[in-house]
Amino acid sequence: MMALWAYSGERGPAHWCEKFPDANGNRQSPVNIVTKNALVDASQGPLTIDYSSARCTEIVNNGHAFQVNAQSSDTNLSGGPLLHNYRLAQFHCHWGSKDGQGSEHTIDGKHYDAELHMVHWNTDLFQTTGDALSHDKGLAVLTAFVKIGKENSGWTKLVALLNKVKCKDDKCCIEDGFDPSMLLPENKKDYWTYEGSLTTPPCYESVRFIIYREPVEISAQQIKSLRDLLSYKQSGQPESGHPEHLSDNYRPTMPLNSRVITASFH
Ligand code: 1SD
Ligand code: ZN
């Protein structure tokens, strides 16, 4: 079956709103962060991130990205700009086919090489991830930029897992689990935050983004394992006119409109 949307061509980002009207809304993501315009709010309390009970037991290639699913557990993301408790549902990345592109958000117009999204849902107000997905304050996405540089030992295990889900719909159990905190930058105090949306259809306006200022570095060899993923099924072939490799899976930045981006630091 043909995918309902894509990152280029006739079903690319400019056409998403034809099937997914929220994509035309006024609080869409990603956005360009103009650092000098961010409103400093050092009064926000610290962000609490507790992944100690995380049970990340499955990795999937969904044809748009890889995704590591977390089973229901007592992970917690709260504090900072968040008014509720959030629980980790999954994490995934967006990346480029070549250096200098791949992140969804940009900083003063500049792309990083990839962007990691830790997707959390609000367990105070909703019963399931599905309920939370389409409602304001439903999701919180903790975001880390990825930059090509030195090898990252926190990524070693992820790279090994990526090799097991090369094709669309490939799935693999992670027997001994995966500690997602290995993928976050050291400096967790400095971040930007704003109210946005899912960056993929249906583009629901349900997401509070929290974006770390400090990028994490991974090696050229490590990013290659992302670029080597395939966008089609083992038994199939690439859709005509669409890239064989899964990359450049980032949405162009969307207008900020009247939103304000807050910075946790001076
Ligand atoms: O792209 C993801 C999508 O795969 C899904 O995870 C959705 C939440 O269910 O979130 C978007 S994103 O906004 O985190 N990129
Ligand atoms: Zn994402």
Amino acid at 51: Y
> What ipTM does this complex have?
0.96
Other Cβ atoms within 10 Å of 258 Cβ, number? 7
**Of all protein residues, whose CA lies closest to atom 1 belonging to ligand 1?**
200
Tell me, what's the pLDDT at 44?
84
Please provide the size of the chain in residues: 266
Pocket of ligand 1, candidates 119, 168, 209: which has the most ligand atoms within 8 Å of its Cβ, to mutate? 119
CA of 202 to the centre of ligand 2 (A): 12
- Atom 3 (ligand 1) nearest CA: 200
> Tell me, what's the pLDDT at 2?
77
Give the per-residue pLDDT at 198: 98
Which one of 58, 126, 199 would you pick to mutate in the ligand 1 pocket, going by the greatest count of ligand atoms within 8 A of its CB?
199
Cα–ligand 1 centroid distance for 198 (angstroms) = 6
| Predicted pLDDT at 239 | 74
The rounded Å distance from CA 266 to ligand 1 centre is 30
Ligand 1 center to 250 CA (angstroms)? 11
Global pTM value: 0.97
Q: Whose CA is nearest to atom 7 of ligand 1?
A: 198
Residues in the chain predicted with pLDDT less than 70, given as ranges, are: 1
C-alpha–C-alpha distance, residues 122 and 131, integer Å: 9
Which protein residue has the closest C-alpha to ligand 1 atom 13?
Answer: 198
Q: Which atom of ligand 1 is nearest to the CA of 199?
A: 13
120 C-alpha vs ligand 2 centroid, how far in Å? 12
pLDDT tens digits, 60-69: 999 999 999 9
**Ion ligand 2: residue ranges with CB closer than 5 A:** 117
Ligand 1, CB within 6 Å, residue ranges: 92, 117, 119, 133, 141, 198-200
Residue 131: predicted pLDDT: 97
Kindly name the residue from 15, 64, 92, 245 that is annotated as catalytic. Answer: 64
Task: Mark whether 84 is an active-site residue.
Answer: no
Q: What is the pLDDT of residue 243?
A: 74
